[in-house]
Amino acid sequence: MAEPFRARLPIPEELTGARLSIPVREAEVPIMPGAPTRMWTYGGTFPGPTVRRPAGRRTEVTFHHELPRSVGELTVHLHGGHNRSQFDGQPGGLTPAHARSFFCDVPRGLSARQSGNDLLLEPGGKRTYVYDLMEDGRPERAAFQWYHDHRLDHTSRNVWHGLAGMWIVEDELEGSLPLPRGERDIPLMIADRSFDRHNQLTDPFTNRRPPNDGINARDVLVNGAYMPYHRVTAQRYRFRILNVSQFRPYNLYLSNGAPMVQIGTESGLMPRPVGRRELMLGPAERAEVVVDFAGAGGEMVELRSGPRHGARNPLGTRPYIGALMQFRVGARRLPDRTRLPRQLRPLPAWTQHVSDKPKQSWEISIGGLFKTTWLINGKTFNPARADAHPKLGTTETWEIVNRTDVAHMMHIHATDWYLLSRNGKPPPAWEDCLKETFFVYPRERLLLAGRFSDYTGKFVIHCHMLDHEDHGLMTQFEVTKP
């Protein structure tokens, strides 16, 4: 076992330009003490570089596929972005390199267009993704997003090997708030991984079938380091926390009992801050919190994950138990000009007149003729099929119903959602805002409203427990012209 709190917290390199080029390549990444780990990376590091861009400024990223041919085609999804369908990281279909799907009913003989194969990133090739960072005709809301691979059947494997990086969109409203910034604004990517005795990633993907296909790995990494430490001053900090684990949630708290004040979700700033003693974060969820170390001068404070108080814990909701990292707080008292504003970002106007009658229902179940697969409305993923056709410029209410005994983490591409209720009850304060990834407990029914703006085309909806996604728990909707 490696010793905790020996490694410094890595802060990934930031890219800020309008035209970026990111090689997707193998690299020897120092992760555990001793030998480096051979990984598939964006730009040679894990996590990949953090892109930081102003809202409303077009950003073009060219990814160069330099991984071995055997990895097959790739596709990049900017998770949380509001982007054109063709730049949204479509999973694609079958190809000569990937001739059959074990869990999804992908028809053979689809054209490149029908399957989305025309949008894939071929081995040895490159592809430029264009992101306008606009929404509803205006600059997108500032938010903590991330990018990762999204290939049919192989998303879990590709992300496990390292294909994930963070992406921060900034805007004027956020910039005008007195929140901590610069060195006191720190993105934290949490990922669990298992290593063999040569420090190489294990291969946990064979012989896994729904409902037992969730991968819990042994070691937890923060920004690619095993239980790192970070020196902080006795002041306020902003932490942007992202869970990229395949399956595992974290129920976060601070070892000194200090509150974390949540200011943001996947969809950026909330209407107002919400104090949290513990904060549950499932795969792909993000929480932005402000922590004040002023009362902890000279102390060591651990960011930990522990059992939840007064909660059911069905499969898929059992948090990791243990420390994730340590903050070493400087002893010096320092003035702090940051503040926690009482109001952050108001909800968009459309959230005020939404229907509570769902126009579309998504039912999660488990089944399959010859083997078990995850299903949405009785079907697995087929890139040529769309199961809903919302009209551009409209707002719709959808319901998500979980008919399985496992919790799922539903993520909807293209837009952000306003959660109306869980089993008929209004959501807690930290979910009474925009989000795009949601826990759905066994037998639970979620009602949410979203607005389809700017772009027509196909977008996926899926479980972000990555093996569930690969094993059928994904489908599509197609935004159509009014």
- Contact in structure between 376 and 403 (CB atoms under 8 Å): no
Least distance to ligand C2O from the beta carbon of 437, Å? 8
Binding segment for Cu ion (CB under 5 A), chosen from 120-128, 156-164, 387-395, 405-413, is 405-413
Pick 2 or 315: Cβ nearer Cu ion: 315
The nearer residue to Cu ion, 146 or 374, going by C-beta atoms, is 374
218-257 residues in contact with ligand C2O (CB under 6 A) are none
**Which residue bears the tokens 């996590």?**
47
- Among residues 150, 157, 193, 238, which is the contact residue for ligand C2O, using CB under 6 A? 150
Q: How far is the CB of 439 from Cu ion (least distance, A)?
A: 10
Site for ligand C2O in 406-445 (CB under 6 A): 411, 413
Least separation, in Å, of the C-beta of 284 and ligand C2O?
5
65 is an interface residue for ligand C2O by CB under 6 A = no
∠ Cα 381 387 389 (to 5°) = 140
Which is closer to ligand C2O, CB of 86 or CB of 199? Answer: 86
Residue 238 contact, options Cu ion, ligand C2O, none, Cβ 5-8 Å cut-off depending on partner type: none
Residue 413 binding target from Cu ion, ligand C2O, none, CB below 5 to 8 Å by type? ligand C2O
Please, is 23 exposed, middle or buried when counting C-beta atoms within 10 Å of its C-beta (0-12, 13-18, 19+)?
Answer: middle
Q: Map residue 119 onto helix, strand or coil.
A: helix
Residue 462: which of ligand C2O, Cu ion, none does it interact with, CB under 5 to 8 A by kind?
ligand C2O
Note whether 77 binds ligand C2O by CB under 6 A: yes
Decide: helix, strand or coil at residue 442.
Answer: coil
Q: Are 340 and 245 in contact (CB under 8 A)?
A: no
Q: Pick the closest to residue 219 from 228, 210, 211 (CA basis).
A: 228
Whether the Cβ atoms of residue 88 and residue 456 lie closer than 8 Å to each other: no
3-class secondary structure, 151: coil
Q: Which is nearer to ligand C2O, 98 or 464 (CB)?
A: 464
Which is it for strands 48-54 and 164-170: parallel, antiparallel or unpaired?
A: parallel
- Rounded distance, CA 400 to CA 421, Å? 11
Number of residues that bind Cu ion (CB under 5 A): 4
Select from 462, 454, 465 the least CA-distant residue to 81. 454
How far is residue 322's CA from residue 336's CA, in Å, rounded to a whole number? 31
| Residue 463 binding partner per list Cu ion, ligand C2O, none, with a CB distance cut-off of 5 to 8 Å that depends on partner kind | Cu ion
Site residues for ligand C2O, 270-309, by CB under 6 A, read 284
Per-residue binder mask for Cu ion (CB under 5 A), 364-403, x = binder: ----------------------------------------
Q: CB under 5 to 8 A by kind: which of ligand C2O, Cu ion, none does 77 bind? A: ligand C2O
The smaller minimum CB distance to ligand C2O, of residues 344 and 463, is found at 463
Cα 340 to Cα 29, 101, 238, 269, distances in angstroms: 37, 50, 11, 12
Q: Any alpha helices (H) in 257-304, and if so which ranges?
A: none
Which of these, 31, 24, 60, 81, lies nearest to 413 by C-alpha position?
Answer: 81
Stretch near ligand C2O under the rule CB under 6 A, chosen from 17-25, 326-334, 358-366, 458-466: 458-466
Query: Distance between CA atoms of 436 and 450, rounded to whole angstroms?
Result: 10
| Of the residues 296, 410, 460, 479, which one makes contact with ligand C2O according to CB under 6 A | 460
List, in sequence order, every residue forming a beta bridge with 329; answer none if it has no partner. 232
User: Kind of pairing, strands 236-243 and 185-193?
Assistant: parallel
Per-residue mark of binding to ligand C2O, 374-413 (x: CB under 6 A): -------------------------------------x-x
Residues 235/251, Cβ–Cβ less than 8 Å: no
Among 65, 79, 286, 408, which residue interacts with Cu ion (rule: CB under 5 A)? 408
Window 442-471: contact mask with Cu ion (x via CB under 5 A): ---------------------x-x--x---
The whole-angstrom separation of Cα 468 and Cα 373 is: 8
Whether the CB-CB separation of 210 and 181 falls below 8 Å is answered with no
Residue 236 beta carbon to ligand C2O: minimum distance, rounded to whole angstroms: 30
Among 462, 468, 475, 476, binds ligand C2O (CB under 6 A): 462
Stretch that binds Cu ion, among 19-27, 248-256, 406-414, 427-435 (CB under 5 A): 406-414
Please, which residue, 53 or 77, has the CB nearer to ligand C2O?
77
Tokens of 435: 């989000």
Q: Which is nearer to Cu ion, 372 or 480 (CB)?
A: 372
d(CA 362, CA 427): 19
Which of 53, 65, 79, 151 lies at the binding interface for ligand C2O (CB under 6 A)?
Answer: 79
Measured between alpha carbons, how far is 145 from 265 in angstroms, rounded to an integer?
Answer: 10
Classify residue 99 by burial, with Cβ atoms within 10 Å: 0-12, 13-18, 19+.
Answer: exposed
Helix (H) or strand (E) holding 112: helix 112-115
| CA dihedral of 427, 381, 354, 285, whole degrees rounded to 10 | 40
Q: With CB cut-offs between 5 and 8 Å by kind, which of Cu ion, ligand C2O, none does residue 408 bind?
A: Cu ion
| Of residues 77 and 471, the one with the C-beta less far from ligand C2O | 77
* Residues found near Cu ion in the complex (CB under 5 A): 408, 463, 465, 468
* Residues found near ligand C2O in the complex (CB under 6 A): 77, 79, 148, 150, 284, 411, 413, 460, 462, 464
